[in-house]
Structures are given as C-alpha cells and as structure tokens.
C-alpha cells in the first residue's frame, strides 16, 4: 500500500495568519492553483481511492487532484484539523494580531506548554484519532495493494508523520516545521508497518509559489 498524504492548498486565513482549526474556510485562488499544479505533478501516479478531511479546504484539494479520474473519495473526521476552540478566528501575526495570540503561539514555539482553550483539543487527542486512522490503514487487508490519497491539514498531517517516525513528544512536535501547502509525503505500508518514502514533495516551482491573483 502507498499513502500519498497531502496538506490542503492555501486559504485566505492562511495568508493573513488567522487561526483556522475546524473553522470551515475554503481554498483561495492561489490554493486552487497549487492544487492544480499538484494534480499535474501526480497525474501519472496510480491512485485507487482517496480519504479526505470533511473540511472544505482539504476536500477541495483532493477533488482538484483527483479531477477527471473515476476514483472514490471518502470523508473521515479523524484526519480533520486540530480543533483550536475559542482561539479559532484570532489573528496570530501582523501588526493587528489578537492579544490572545501569545498564548496560542505556544502551540508552535513551546508545544509542550500549550494549553487548549475552551472547546479545543489536546495534542494527545489529535494523536489518538489520527493514530486510529493510520492503524486502520495498516490493518485493512482489502487495502493492502491500494494506492490512496489522504488529504488533510498541517497539525493532523504532522501528527500522522510523527507517529510513523516514532516521535510522540509534544516538545518535538514541530521538529520538521509546518508542512507546506499542497506538499505530498509518500508512505509505504508493508506487512502492516508504515514507512516514509519521500517527505514534503512539492510539484510547483518557486515562481509558481509567488503567483498572485488580481
């Protein structure tokens, strides 16, 4: 089995450093462009099926990548983004950043000290649900010979990859930083054991990354 794990394309909230989490924000034009470039880069790869977070930015990314192919796409809440509760919607960067952004920024700068706000998930909860998803992929015999697209989010994707690497330390959660938008990591599952083949592959060039709409 091969898993092609992709982070969704850019959204307007990504661009202005507004916390998204489970808030359902669509891709912007640049995000759709990155997804189309990724689709072009992956067009010769065999993909048998796809799983996506139910959030629109991940779902649309998967739909663009799989466009023109007769491939089933299933939603799975276990790979949706971490819920940031009452932090969602706040500006975490720029001159007009929210006064609560310092507490939220611990999630990136000192993850072990991050305290989930009201309604938010803990890192342990995210590890548990993404781990359950990965375990199912490893154990389902009927998927053994499948190539599967998995469209997810920055924190959820990092939790999946950290588990494969055997790193469940909160302090080292962002050891490899946030995966770039539309980056693809390929995971081979053989005899029930997942192994990362390539990590953080992007199918767009630097000049494409700077592309802007008018």
Centre a 10 Å sphere on the Cβ of residue 119 and count the other Cβ atoms it contains. Answer: 13
The predicted-structure confidence for 97-144, as pLDDT tens digits, reads as follows 888 889 999 999 999 999 999 999 999 999 999 999 999 999 999 999
2-83+123-209 fold: Rossmann fold (3.40.50)
Please tell me the pTM assigned to this model.
Answer: 0.94
Q: Is the pLDDT of residue 206 over 80?
A: no
Q: Active-site residues: which are they? A: 8, 81
Domain ranges of the chain: 2-83+123-209
Q: Is 194 within 8 Å of 130 (Cβ atoms)?
A: no
The predicted-structure confidence for 43-82, as pLDDT tens digits, reads as follows 999 999 999 999 999 999 999 999 999 999 999 999 999 9
Nearest to 76 by CA among 132, 14, 25: 132
The predicted-structure confidence for 127-186, as pLDDT tens digits, reads as follows 999 999 999 999 999 999 999 999 999 999 999 999 999 999 999 999 999 999 999 999
Distance separating alpha carbons of residues 119 and 74, to the nearest angstrom:
26
User: Which structure tokens are listed for 31?
Assistant: 């995000």
């Amino acid at each position: 089995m091969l898993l092609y794990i992709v982070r969704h394309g850019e959204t307007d909230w990504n661009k202005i450093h507004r916390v998204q989490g489970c808030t359902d924000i669509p891709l912007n034009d640049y995000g759709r462009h990155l997804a189309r470039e990724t689709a072009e880069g992956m067009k010769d790869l065999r993909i048998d099926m796809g799983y996506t977070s139910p959030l629109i930015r991940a779902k649309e990314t998967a739909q663009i990548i799989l466009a023109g192919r007769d491939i089933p796409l299933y939603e799975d809440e276990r790979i949706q983004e971490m819920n940031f509760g009452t932090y969602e919607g706040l500006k975490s960067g720029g001159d007009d950043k929210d006064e609560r952004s310092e507490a939220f920024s611990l999630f990136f700068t000192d993850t072990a000290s991050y305290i989930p706000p009201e309604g938010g998930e803990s890192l342990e909860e995210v590890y548990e649900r993404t781990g359950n998803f990965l375990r199912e992929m490893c154990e389902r015999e009927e998927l053994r010979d499948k190539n599967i697209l998995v469209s997810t989010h920055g924190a959820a994707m990092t939790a999946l990859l950290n588990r494969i690497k055997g790193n469940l330390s909160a302090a080292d959660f962002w050891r490899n930083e946030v995966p770039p938008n539309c980056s693809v990591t390929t995971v081979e599952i053989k005899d029930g054991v997942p192994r990362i083949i390539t990590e953080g592959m992007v199918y767009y060039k630097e000049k494409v990354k700077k592309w802007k709409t008018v």
